[in-house]
Amino acid sequence: MNLKIKNALISVSDKESISSLLRVLRKYNIKIISSGGTYKSIKKLGYACTELSKYTGFKEMLDGRVKSLHPKVHAGILHDRQNKAHKKQMSNQKFPPIDLIIVNFYPFQKVVMKTKKPKDVIENIDIGGPTMVRAAAKNFKNVTIITNKNDYGPLIKELENNKGKTSIKFREFMSSKAFGLTAYYDAMIANWFNNKLNIRFPERKTIFGRKLSNLRYGENPHQESSIYVSDYDDKKLGIKQLHGKELSYNNYNDLFAGLEILQSFKRKAATVVIKHANPCGISISKHPFISFKNAYQCDPISAFGGIIACNYKMNKKIATEITKNFLEVILSKGFDKESLRILKRKKNLRVIDISNFKYKNQMYIKSFDGSFLVQNRNNEIVRKKNFRCVTKLKPSKKELDEIEFAFNISKYVKSNAIVLCNNFSTIGIGGGQPSRVDSCKIAIQKARKFQPKQIAKAIAASDAFFPFSDGLDLLIKAGVKVVIQPGGSIRDKEIINYANKAKIKMLFTGIRHFYH
């Protein structure tokens, strides 16, 4: 059912692109009602417009908090044009219909990003706008609702094609977008209050997100996917792609894993190699090239088709090494001109600048069907001062620094996790296995294959305790001389005795790092 638009109410905080819409409204003799800054802008552009307070006969009050909240406005929006009783009531009150609502809200999210003053934030919680939008969206059978300037074009096309009318299909689609906006807006406000009051797990949890882009497909070609930004600054991720194909679902998944690991390294150059969201090489050093080389050599076969994430500026020497291998994505805190020129030789290589990325430490969410799990991030950095040496042999100060490095890497490897390290670099990683023994075997196998000379005197980190001595036995026989684990098993005493007999050093942290 196509309906002629006779009256439109326009109230927008963003006045951009409104002139093209006003031309079409005038062409089809659609009367305009507006208020405040929007009214002034419309008049300045040379279009006829009735001020809202004159239309309602009620002057706005409370510093503008009450202006559109009036029966003449909401009856004009909500009444059913096909309902005789509604039509009679409207006629008795002399209330004309309002057939088109064009509204965008107070810039709540922009204010939140600019100020920490609660008063300023609260004053930018829009009431009248969302109320009109909800009313119009509910009555889409009779009313057209536009909430985004990007929809001015489709509205103009709709009016031109239908000679001043809109179709039910168009109105219902715009209604769905409108309810999406009001839900999003309210969720942002609820989130602000929860953060302000330090409520991490509210009774009702609403996740808001704005679509950044559609992706070619999901984990597999038969799956659909998109990426959303759940933040007040919802139009960017803080990363900038400089070259290469569009990022895929799997690229983003790996990219996020790399960024999360990088944020734990502050002082030294760190390189992280990621494949299928799992690290397959991590190294820190005073020298970026050494960091890169050691991280990549941990498991060069697994690194094939993976991503590399760096917390330093990319240079020519490292870029040259990168182009010798097949990689999907390179993340770095900037690129010098020569390194960028070299990397761009690889047509499809995605080159990402992460200089402006800021880790926000948001909650971790896993969803399944009609439910989801929420937890805070595992940001626990276990320091050497908190270690407890449980064996007769004690580690040196230098060993303690590397033991700290090894254990804190284990939290980024899928459980059960075993990480072998030497010289502040991983030399073997075993993870994602139902059995800790299997993870030990994989870590040892990787080290023997790619870093055989580094196994002797290596450090082994386990994300959880050893329930039996079998996994420990494998590590000792491979050449491991130091083991760090959380402890807490009923067989801890047996494990400690085994370590003492083997003359290795063992430390307990009391902190578990499961990552499923």
State the CB neighbour count (10 A cutoff) for residue 183.
13
Is-contact 316 342, C-beta < 8 A? yes
The CA–CA distances, whole Å, from 268 to 310, 316, 459, 461, 482 equal: 11, 19, 20, 21, 23
Distance of CA 496 to the CA centre of its chain: 43
Pull the structure tokens for residue 315. Answer: 């240079």
Per the listing, tokens 């098993």 go with 489
Is-contact 185 204, C-beta < 8 A? no
138 carries an active-site annotation: yes
Longest dimension (CA), the chain: 97
Catalytic residue, from 138, 268, 317, 333: name it. Answer: 138
Query: How far is the C-alpha of 362 from the C-alpha of 377, rounded, in Å?
Result: 7
Query: How far is the C-alpha of 79 from the C-alpha of 59, rounded, in Å?
Result: 24
Query: How far is the C-alpha of 385 from the C-alpha of 431, rounded, in Å?
Result: 27
Kindly report the backbone phi and psi dihedral angles of residue 349, in degrees, each rounded to the nearest multiple of 5, phi listed first: -65, 125
Catalytic residue, from 6, 43, 149, 276: name it. Answer: 276
Query: How far is the C-alpha of 78 from the C-alpha of 87, rounded, in Å?
Result: 11
> Strand (E) positions, 3-110?
3-4, 7-11, 31-34, 50-51, 100-103
Query: How far is the C-alpha of 138 from the C-alpha of 395, rounded, in Å?
Result: 69
163 carries an active-site annotation: no
Query: How far is the C-alpha of 487 from the C-alpha of 512, rounded, in Å?
Result: 8
- CB burial of 464-484 (b: ≥16 within 10 Å; e: otherwise) equals bbbeebebbebbbebbbbbbb
Stated as kind and residue range, the H or E segment containing 462 is: strand 459-462
Query: How far is the C-alpha of 431 from the C-alpha of 416, rounded, in Å?
Result: 5
Per the listing, tokens 């007040």 go with 232
The CA–CA distances, whole Å, from 302 to 73, 261, 298, 320, 423 equal: 64, 18, 9, 20, 21
Pull the structure tokens for residue 67. Answer: 């202006």
Q: Which residue type occupies 327?
A: L
Pull the structure tokens for residue 28. Answer: 């089809």
Is-contact 113 233, C-beta < 8 A? yes
What stretches of 197-287 show up as alpha helix (H) in DSSP? 249-262
Is-contact 230 236, C-beta < 8 A? no
Respond yes or no on whether the N-terminal peptide bond of residue 422 is cis (omega within 30° of 0): no
| Active site amino acids | 138, 276
